[in-house]
Amino acid sequence: MNDKTWFQAFSENMNVIFTDEDFQTYLADIESCIDFYIKHLGENTKILDLGCGLGTGSIPLSTFGYKITGIDNDMKVVEAARTNAEKFGKDVQIIHGDVFDIDKMFESDSFDACISGGLLEHFPESQIHELIRKQLVVAPKLIAYMPIASYPGEKWDDGIYRNLWDEKYWLEDILVEFNVIHHSTARAMEAIGGFLELEVVIDR
Ligand SMILES: C[S@@+](CC[C@H](N)C(=O)[O-])C[C@H]1O[C@@H](n2cnc3c(N)ncnc32)[C@H](O)[C@@H]1O
């Protein structure tokens, strides 16, 4: 479905191994919303980051006391994320695996929450539902971020398949069967593209 691997896509746009300066940028972004994380994740809790990528979100989050397990199915991405975690993380484990196997890899309630950024939009609706249900087995709550269309018909020609739906479609159609306890939109940090994204918190 994709013309390129995720490792290739990351390599074209950012340093796959974070410099000190990169990490400070990612850390500042997490720091700016740490109150939101504490409200929804609690403190010092166990978090599963699905499609963790290079660790731009979860590695800084680990420095605030969260115990992070990241999972990604691109081995080169996993290797880079492990290096980043070693350099900058606190309690971070990066696993090579498919997010659709989390219900086989982990027992029910193995985590306090799941997080995912830039993941759900890459799958068709039925698989999004499946993936949300699986997350709500391994944890009672999830936080998800997905890019949304800023204008009707917007497309990104970057060789990666994704659904660029608007906020209304996500909330009133795709996620309507789930218990969405919070949603808001904001711009992602410039360092990862500055796109408009929807943030949702879903509870069991
Ligand atoms: C847009 S990137 C997001 C990376 C990271 N969450 C972030 O916000 O910077 C999507 C990531 O999901 C991973 N991914 C896609 N499908 C996956 C699957 N079925 N299982 C595990 N990881 C997957 C890709 O390898 C990629 O690293």
* CATH number of the domain bearing residue 195: 3.40.50.150
pLDDT of residue 169: 95
In a domain, 151, yes or no: yes
In a domain, 57, yes or no: yes
Q: How far is the CA of 178 from the centre of ligand 1 (A)?
A: 22
Q: How far is the CA of 56 from the centre of ligand 1 (A)?
A: 12
In a domain, 112, yes or no: yes
Q: How far is the CA of 73 from the centre of ligand 1 (A)?
A: 7
Domain count along the chain: 1
Q: Best of 11, 48, 73, 158 to mutate for ligand 1, by most ligand atoms within 8 A of CB? A: 73
pLDDT of residue 201: 98
Contacts 24+ apart (CB under 8 A), 69-73: 69/93, 69/94, 69/95, 69/111, 70/94, 70/95, 71/95, 71/96, 71/97, 71/99, 71/102, 71/105, 72/6, 72/96, 72/97, 73/97, 73/98, 73/99
In a domain, 133, yes or no: yes
DSSP per residue, 154-178: ----SS-------HHHIIIIITTTS
Point out the residues of the chain with pLDDT beneath 50. none
pLDDT of residue 154: 85
pTM for the predicted model, two decimal places: 0.96
Q: Best of 1, 2, 6 to mutate for ligand 1, by most ligand atoms within 8 A of CB? A: 6
In a domain, 1, yes or no: no
| Inter-residue contact 65 to 94 (CB < 8 Å) | no
Q: How far is the CA of 72 from the centre of ligand 1 (A)?
A: 6
In a domain, 39, yes or no: yes
Instruction: Ligand 1: list residues with CB < 6 Å.
Output: 6, 51-53, 56-57, 71-74, 77, 98-100, 117-119, 122, 192
In a domain, 177, yes or no: yes
pLDDT of residue 1: 59
What 3-state class would DSSP assign to 186? strand
Q: Best of 119, 123, 146, 189 to mutate for ligand 1, by most ligand atoms within 8 A of CB? A: 119
Residue 160 belongs to domain spanning? 6-203
